[in-house]
């Protein structure tokens, strides 16, 4: 895997880890925090709503206390003077005070006065057109008295009751004097129905949207049944959440201590939505910034590092493939990669010098392995390789190949007489003569061993090879190298050579060794006949010294 790919995979893993951690942070830390704020806000709104409802009860209670703790009302309980009602406590008075009911009971629970105005006609429509028949009886069971300044005073009552028009706020105060002195002469009860208009007024005051859901209706609402049970059993404010809003509930009891209704407050989930939106925006912004930053870093990394590393890598691969150590890498910059490029160039330069020296040495060794160290012409190894090659070529072309084998006559006596140094000089001169007559590129002059030499002549007949041998013989005569230590005094006192010639066209199961043996045999016959002559194998031709 390339370095760039590894970096890309690493960055993808980094992005993935960042996304997972941010998601975990949002779900485990931020979202619960927003939900907590949301819950606290909803609870505060619910408490404010409950306080507003209670405030309505308190306001009604103040109004009821004004009517009940009044000397005129106190006297009316004894005199039952109708003028009091006409002047102070008429249907018009209830309508002006936004009252739904005024009831006066004596201490025995009997009804002294009941006023229930019709909201439409303004007429007194009777108590039981509003409340249920057991209202007075149940209310009477709640009545209790206490001693105040040695006098019996009834305790006040207040709360909520369910009526035929809905839920009604109720305040029941003992009838006392203006100075709130007893004994109480009865109970004044006033009520105010929680109409839609009054609820809307409370909503405007509190800026909280709420509903009143009677407990009697909850049985048909399966979604609220669990909520009611939870509110009743756990004594807490149940909360239900939807995508856009939140509902929080509170259970309210009536004056009889029974469950009356659920107060349902609905608030928009703006805190959570805005919080999550802002958080997501921050996360996305950070992620985009991170991506842009990483993309810029990758671009800079590719431009400043990866591209240069790839160029160095390609350069090294090209050098390894071509073995051309003369090429140099174009160095960019003066940083670490530039220093690395210079170092590689220096290394390649050293390798170039070493390789050139090694090549020259190998060539020299190769030449030394194929050339005779004394005479400088081909040695026995080169001769064998050359004969293998030329023999196959002659066999393929069915052409002739000739070998001239020659040996210096009485060379041992020459060395003994003149010394080995003179003997070496003599062999060098003889090698030059043979090389001079190997005129074609395909001809080869070689030192066979000691004072024996071989001249290989491809595509040459016996007659032509014999002619070349005679030319060599005469060339040697012309050199007139002194040799006064010859065995036969009748011979000329110069260095001479015996020549054996053999030529053939290679056959299928033949090799050049037989041809070499034939030339060698012819050469020894020439030496046995006194030397200084040319003998061609299969030819009795002999040539005496001139």
Name the phi and psi angles at 438, rounded to 5. -90, 70
Token match 């066999």: residue?
395
Residue 275 inside a domain? The answer is no
Per-residue confidence (pLDDT) for residue 225, from 0 to 100: 62
Q: Are residues 377 and 525 in the same domain?
A: yes
Per-residue confidence (pLDDT) for residue 221, from 0 to 100: 52
Per-residue confidence (pLDDT) for residue 545, from 0 to 100: 35
Per-residue confidence (pLDDT) for residue 232, from 0 to 100: 53
Residue-range definition of the domain harbouring residue 344: 320-362
Q: Are residues 337 and 399 in the same domain?
A: no
Separation between Cα atoms, residue 279 and residue 283, nearest integer Å: 6
Q: Are residues 348 and 400 in the same domain?
A: no
Residue 73 inside a domain? The answer is yes
Q: Which domain-ending residue is among 362, 392, 424?
A: 362
Q: Are residues 348 and 391 in the same domain?
A: no
pLDDT tens readout for residues 245-290: 888 888 888 999 888 888 889 888 877 777 777 777 777 887 788 7
Per-residue confidence (pLDDT) for residue 220, from 0 to 100: 43
Q: Are residues 381 and 449 in the same domain?
A: yes
Residue 39 inside a domain? The answer is no
Separation between Cα atoms, residue 143 and residue 365, nearest integer Å: 135
Q: Which of 146, 143, 142, 141 is nearest to 182 (CA)?
A: 146
User: How many residues are there in the chain?
Assistant: 546
Reported in sequence order, the residue ranges of 341-480 that DSSP labels E, i.e. its strands, are 401-408, 444-449, 452-458
> What's 84-144 look like in SS3?
HHHHCCCHHHHHHCCCCEEEEECCCCCEEEEECECCCCCCECCHHHCCCCCHHHHHHHHCC
Q: Are residues 345 and 447 in the same domain?
A: no
pLDDT tens readout for residues 72-127: 999 999 998 888 888 888 898 888 889 999 999 998 889 999 999 997 888 999 99
Residue 511 inside a domain? The answer is yes
Residue 545 inside a domain? The answer is no
Query: Which pair of tokens denotes residue 130?
Result: 């509003």
Q: DSSP secondary-structure letter at 399?
A: -
Query: Which pair of tokens denotes residue 370?
Result: 């194929």
Per-residue confidence (pLDDT) for residue 522, from 0 to 100: 94
Percentages of the chain per state (helix, strand, coil), in multiples of 5: 55, 20, 25
Per-residue confidence (pLDDT) for residue 543, from 0 to 100: 37
Q: Are residues 338 and 433 in the same domain?
A: no
Collect the ranges in the chain with pLDDT lower than 50: 220, 234, 539-546
Query: Which pair of tokens denotes residue 469?
Result: 């041998």
Q: DSSP secondary-structure letter at 164?
A: T
Query: Which pair of tokens denotes residue 40?
Result: 């606290």
Q: Which domain-ending residue is among 330, 362, 394?
A: 362
Separation between Cα atoms, residue 132 and residue 62, nearest integer Å: 25
Alpha carbon of 51 to those of 161, 219, 479: distances in Å? 18, 27, 145
Residue 85 inside a domain? The answer is yes
Q: Are residues 341 and 416 in the same domain?
A: no
Residue 359 host element (H or E): helix 336-370
Q: Which of 479, 478, 484 is nearest to 413 (CA)?
A: 484
Alpha helices in 241-306 (DSSP H): 270-301
Q: Which domain-ending residue is among 140, 162, 191?
A: 191
Q: Are residues 343 and 387 in the same domain?
A: no
Question: Domain containing 90 — which CATH number?
Answer: 3.30.450
Q: Are residues 383 and 509 in the same domain?
A: yes
Residue 217 host element (H or E): helix 215-218
Count of domains forming the chain: 3
Residue 276 inside a domain? The answer is no
Per-residue confidence (pLDDT) for residue 188, from 0 to 100: 94
Q: Are residues 506 and 381 in the same domain?
A: yes
Say if pTM beats, i.e. exceeds, 0.85: no
Per-residue confidence (pLDDT) for residue 4, from 0 to 100: 67
Q: Are residues 329 and 439 in the same domain?
A: no
Question: Domain containing 441 — which CATH number?
Answer: 3.30.70.270
Residue 71 host element (H or E): helix 71-79
Residue 216 inside a domain? The answer is no
């Amino acid at each position: 895997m390339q370095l760039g790919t590894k970096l890309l995979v690493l960055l993808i893993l980094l992005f993935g880890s960042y996304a997972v951690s941010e998601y975990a942070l949002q779900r485990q830390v931020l979202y619960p925090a927003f939900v907590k704020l949301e819950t606290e806000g909803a609870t505060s709104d619910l408490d404010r709503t409950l306080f507003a409802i209670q405030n309505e009860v308190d306001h009604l209670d103040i109004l009821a206390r004004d009517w009940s703790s009044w000397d005129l009302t106190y006297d009316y309980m004894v005199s039952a003077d109708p003028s009091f009602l006409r002047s102070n406590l008429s249907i018009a008075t209830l309508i002006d005070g936004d009252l739904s009911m005024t009831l006066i009971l004596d201490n025995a629970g009997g009804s002294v006065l009941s006023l229930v105005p019709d909201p439409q006609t303004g007429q007194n429509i009777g108590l039981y057109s509003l409340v249920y028949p057991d209202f007075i009886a149940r209310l009477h069971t709640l009545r209790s008295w206490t001693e105040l300044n040695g006098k019996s005073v009834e305790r006040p009552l207040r709360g909520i009751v369910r009526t035929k028009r809905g839920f009604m706020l109720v305040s029941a105060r003992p009838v006392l004097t203006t100075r709130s002195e007893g004994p109480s002469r009865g109970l004044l009860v006033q009520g105010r129905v929680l109409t839609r208009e009054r609820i809307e007024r409370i909503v405007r005051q509190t800026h909280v949207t709420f509903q009143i859901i009677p407990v009697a209706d909850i049985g048909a609402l399966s979604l609220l049944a669990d909520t009611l049970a939870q509110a009743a059993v756990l004594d807490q404010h149940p909360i239900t959440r939807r995508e856009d809003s939140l509902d929080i509930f509170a259970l309210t009891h009536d004056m009889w201590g029974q469950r009356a209704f659920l107060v349902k407050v609905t608030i928009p989930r703006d805190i959570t939505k805005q919080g999550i939106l802002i958080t997501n925006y921050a996360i996305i912004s950070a992620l985009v910034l991170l991506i842009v930053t990483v993309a810029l870093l990758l671009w800079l990394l590719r431009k400043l590092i990866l591209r240069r590393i790839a160029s160095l890598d390609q350069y090294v691969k090209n050098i390894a493939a071509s073995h051309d150590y003369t090429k140099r890498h174009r160095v960019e910059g003066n940083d670490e990669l530039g220093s690395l490029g210079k170092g590689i160039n220096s290394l390649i330069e050293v390798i170039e010098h070493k390789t050139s020296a090694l090549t020259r040495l190998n060539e020299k060794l190769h030449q030394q392995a194929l050339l005779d160290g004394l005479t400088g012409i081909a040695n026995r190894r080169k001769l064998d390789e050359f004969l293998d090659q030329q023999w196959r070529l002659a066999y393929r072309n069915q052409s002739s190949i000739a070998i001239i084998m020659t040996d210096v006559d009485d060379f041992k006596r020459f060395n003994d007489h003149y010394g080995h140094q003179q003997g070496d000089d003599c062999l060098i001169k003889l090698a030059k003569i043979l090389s001079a007559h190997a005129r074609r590129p395909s001809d080869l002059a070689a030192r066979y061993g000691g004072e024996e030499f071989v001249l290989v002549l491809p595509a040459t007949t016996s007659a032509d090879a014999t002619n070349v041998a005679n030319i060599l013989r005469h060339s040697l005569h012309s050199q007139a190298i002194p040799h006064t230590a010859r065995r036969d005094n009748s011979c000329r006192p110069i260095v001479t050579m015996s020549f054996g010639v053999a030529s053939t066209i290679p056959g299928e199961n033949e090799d050049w060794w037989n041809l070499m043996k034939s030339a060698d045999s012819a050469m020894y016959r020439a030496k046995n006949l006194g030397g200084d002559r040319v003998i061609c194998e299969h030819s009795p031709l002999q040539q005496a010294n001139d």
